[in-house]
Amino acid sequence: MADPATDTPTPQFSRVVADESEVARALTRMAHELLEANHGAENLVLLGIPTRGVPLAKRLAALIESVEGRPVRQGELDITMYRDDLRANPTRNPGRTAIPGSIDDSVVVLVDDVLYSGRTIGAAFDALRDLGRPRAVRLAVLVDRGHRELPIAADTVGRTIQAADDERVAVQLAELDGTDAITITRTGKES
Ligand SMILES: O=P(O)(O)OC[C@H]1O[C@H](OP(=O)(O)OP(=O)(O)O)[C@H](O)[C@@H]1O
Ligand SMILES: O=c1cc[nH]c(=O)[nH]1
């Protein structure tokens, strides 16, 4: 976006709101909150939503395993074909879904990096419906930035951020980005 008075592009300001150690502490707390709410790891299945929900689900599963001393099932759930804007963008390519066994009667924990409008999670509910009937579905997100368009709330949140409409919240993870961080960037246009 350009400043109409000068026709110069609006600068993009970025600020880091959580670094590697803060992301690590948040994930450790989230793992404990999931265990406490579920009274242990019994029946838990963690499903990461691509892109960055997948490494986050793996990390939460590893943290839960380190506390409970037993492995917890984890996989990934692609929601591309369930998006409510698919008709407007019909050329999207589906990603990978990998479910570790049946989800019937399990407690599925959807894991994502950012919760914003809630439409991604709404699509995840539709995707799950085609896979089975979990006993319960929970939601774990590293960042809740508000501005919901659907009645969806997370069960555990790493960081709640009051981001403005013209800001974008980005999660960086070592597995994909070489470092862990949560960054807010002013884009100059509403997201
Ligand atoms: O609550 P919402 O408004 O749906 O926004 C949140 C989603 O937006 C981002 O995904 P994006 O679609 O940008 O894809 P990516 O994960 O591959 O970056 C983010 O990773 C969440 O999945
Ligand atoms: O700020 C935002 C909004 C949607 N999705 C993101 O990853 N960040």
So what's the pLDDT on residue 2?
46
So what's the pLDDT on residue 11?
56
Ligand 1 centroid from CA 168, angstroms: 11
**C-beta of residue 79 within 8 angstroms of C-beta of residue 131:** no
- Residue ranges of the domains in the chain? 20-83+102-161
Q: Is the shortest distance between the CB of 116 and ligand 1 below 6 Å?
A: yes
Task: Check if CATH label 3.40.50.2020 holds for domain 20-83+102-161.
Answer: yes
Q: Looking at the predicted structure, is the pLDDT value of residue 19 above 70?
A: yes
Q: Looking at the predicted structure, is the pLDDT value of residue 4 above 60?
A: no
Q: Looking at the predicted structure, is the pLDDT value of residue 170 above 60?
A: yes
For residue 102, the SS3 value is coil
Percentage above 70 pLDDT, the chain: 93
Ligand 1 centroid from CA 94, angstroms: 14
Q: Is the shortest distance between the CB of 54 and ligand 1 below 6 Å?
A: no
Give the closest residue (by CA) to ligand 1 atom 12.
120
For residue 172, the SS3 value is strand
pLDDT digit string, tens, across residues 103-136: 999 999 999 999 999 999 999 999 999 999 999 9
Between CA 18 and CA 160 the distance in angstroms is 11
Largest CA distance in the chain: 62
Q: Nearest Cα to 115, choosing from 163, 81, 187, 73? A: 163
How would residue 147 be classed by pLDDT, with cut points 50, 70 and 90?
very high
So what's the pLDDT on residue 3?
47
Q: Which residue has the tokens 């960081």?
A: 159
Question: For the chain, what is the mean pLDDT?
Answer: 93
Taking residues 14-34, report their average pLDDT. Answer: 97
Q: Is the shortest distance between the CB of 191 and ligand 2 below 6 Å?
A: yes
The H or E element containing residue 38 is helix 20-38
**C-beta of residue 78 within 8 angstroms of C-beta of residue 86:** no
Q: Ligand nearest 56 Cα, by number? A: 1
Q: Looking at the predicted structure, is the pLDDT value of residue 191 above 80?
A: no
Q: Which ligand 1 atom is at minimum distance from the Cα of 149?
A: 3
